[in-house]
Amino acid sequence: MLFTSYGFIGFLAVLFVLYYLIPKRFQWILLLLGSYVFYTLASPKYMLYILATTVTTFYAAKYIGRLTVEQKKYIKINKETLTSEEKKTYKAKIKTVQKKWLIGTMLLNFGILAVAKYTNFAIANLNYMFEATGQSFQLSFWNIALPMGISFYTFQSMGYLIDVYRGKYEAQNHLPKFALFVSFFPQLIQGPISRYDDMSKTLYQEHSYDQNTVKRGFQRILWGYFKKVVIADRLLVAVTTIVQAPEVYDGVFVFIGMLLYAYQLYADFTGGIDITIGIAQVFGVQLKENFQQPYFSKNIAEYWRRWHITMGTWFKDYLFYPISVSKPMLKLSKFSRQKFGDAIGKRIPVYLATLIVWFTTGLWHGSSWNFIVWGLMNGIVIILSLEMKPFYEWFHGKFNVQHLWYFKLFQIIRTILLMSSIRMFDTYRNVPLTFKMFGTMFTRFDISDLWNRDLMGFGLSLGDYVILFVCLIVLVLVSTIQTRGSVRDWLSQKSPVFQYAVHYALILALLVFGAYGINYDSSQFIYNQF
């Protein structure tokens, strides 16, 4: 069920009315039922996957949490009699058992994800190797559908398990409540990847109908739909046209396609997250923000702190830090310091962990080489920018341009261009082709192509371009206001007439300019496939 389908809007309307009609203590149960209905409608067999993750994570976390409580109790009771050596041994014994449960559950759940998502990728690579070594043997592909949202809910559940293991908070002792945390339907499609300690504050609470909260939720939903159906789905036509005919659209058109995709992906993903957070807010549930005006970032590291924030922090907390400070990595660092000196030695753990994390981030996005190369390119650019730091510091000290608006604008445009060119691996979905098309931007760039050849060939009319241009200005304005505060706060201070005018303008824009016409079919969200 697509967020943009009429069926989903109907489903949401029914759930919303029931939510505020039933006794408040049943509200979270309704959300759980709604989430399971939503998931079952996608495909009943998917339920087995999400149930397996829910049940295994719940019981493992419960057991790990219980051991922590028992350990504290035991040490407290025997405080006087235990020596510090005995305490240490006892703690180590408990930690070993907890670690076994943690690793076992993680292997099982990441194993399910790996089998469902990467089996055919592994088969394709093996077949390629067989062919390259002259063997006629070929493995046949496995007919397996990727369960909806599996990358998101697996990461969310494993984050919870690790947090309980680390003693960050106590385990949830109620299986259906935990099931809601894993399956909360608005975030199943494309995240955000929530943390249990954040989300549980409002997820299980009893919520009275609050007109202001509900209004703000609907405003956010409306804004998300606007970005999705007026902007992203319109741009999809042009981007697909350019990408699917690389022999026709090279040179300057590759550059145009690259920028259009940057615009499309932003509208699609942030629009989807606006809808998600808005729906949660309508039910009184607070979700973490996933974006913070990413296209205003001045460098790539900052961009990744402001784009898909919950995924970035997940990888940072549960992969980057544990790898970087692991015993083998610290040993490697010591060894390299002795062997190559301090300057190289201290770089090795950071750079190695960065590349591992970005390789995994690429793999998380999709089971194909283009995503892996995309991830590694991000890692390489981040490492290069770290190496360039002394130069930047020298440059800024010498020329003192950092505070100038045009220098900031230059940094922003540079970051957008850099990110957009790396993202070409995502658009062309083929590594050699991406390098080739990137090359044509320099070797066959002819600006006169823009007026000599038919721009309307992208499948868009002049009217579409006008709409997209106006929307771009609106997005930049809204993002600029957002850097100073909430747009909805600003709107709520305006007169009711002005507020209604804005709401109606958005609805009207959706109905009139939304990509719902005969030639359009509202598309799946890009991040749904991950």
Partner 1 sequence: MKELIEILKGLHPDVDFENTTTLIDDQILDSFDIITLITEIDSVFDVQIPAEEIVPERFNSAKALYELIEELLEDN
User: Which residues of this protein are in contact with partner 1, per CB under 8 A?
Assistant: 88, 166-168, 301, 316-317, 320-322, 324-325, 327, 330, 333-334, 337, 346, 349-350, 353-354, 386
What is the amino acid identity at position 308? Answer: H
129: Cα separation from own chain's centroid: 32
- Closest to partner 1 by CB, 165 vs 263, is 165
Q: What residue type is 57 in one-letter code?
A: T
Helix (H, G, I), strand (E, B) or coil at 380: helix
Lookup: tokens for 56: 């295994």
Least separation in angstroms between residue 347's CB and partner 1 is 8
Distance, in Å, from the CA atom of 60 to the CA atom of 250, rounded to the nearest integer, reads 53
Judged by beta carbon, residue 51 or residue 386, the one nearer partner 1 is 386
Instruction: For helices 389-399 and 369-387, give the axis angle rounded to 10 degrees.
Output: 50
What is the distance between the alpha carbons of residues 433 and 439, in angstroms, rounded to a whole number?
10
**In the complex with partner 1, which residue's Cβ is closer, 321 or 469?**
321
Q: What's the burial of 120, exposed, middle or buried (CB within 10 Å: 0-12/13-18/19+)?
A: middle
* Between 324 and 367, CB nearer to partner 1: 324
Q: Of 251 and 349, which has the nearer Cβ to partner 1?
A: 349
| Distance in Å, CB of 389 to partner 1, minimum | 10
**Residues 195/318, Cβ–Cβ less than 8 Å:** no
- Nearest to partner 1 of 86, 131 (CB atom): 86
Distance of closest approach, residue 327 Cβ to partner 1, in angstroms:
7
**What is the smallest separation between the CB atom of 84 and partner 1, expressed in angstroms?**
9
Of 164 and 260, CB closest to partner 1:
164
Q: Closest distance between partner 1 and the C-beta of residue 282, in Å?
A: 31
Q: How far is the CB of 357 from partner 1 (least distance, A)?
A: 10
- State the nearest-atom distance from the C-beta of 200 to partner 1, in Å: 18
In the bound complex, what is the minimum distance in angstroms from residue 392's beta carbon to partner 1?
A: 14
Task: Annotate 424-441 with DSSP letters as a single string.
Answer: HHHHH--HHHHHHHHHHH
Using alpha carbons, select from 112, 187, 150, 57 the residue that is nearest to residue 366: 150
Q: What is d(CA 234, CA 257) in angstroms, rounded to the nearest whole number?
A: 13
Per the structure block, which two tokens stand in for 480? 């600029």
Q: 195, 184 in Cβ contact below 8 A?
A: no
Q: Which of 28, 339, 5 is nearest to 189 (CA)?
A: 5
Q: 9 vs 325, which CB is nearer to partner 1?
A: 325
Entry field: residues in the chain:
530
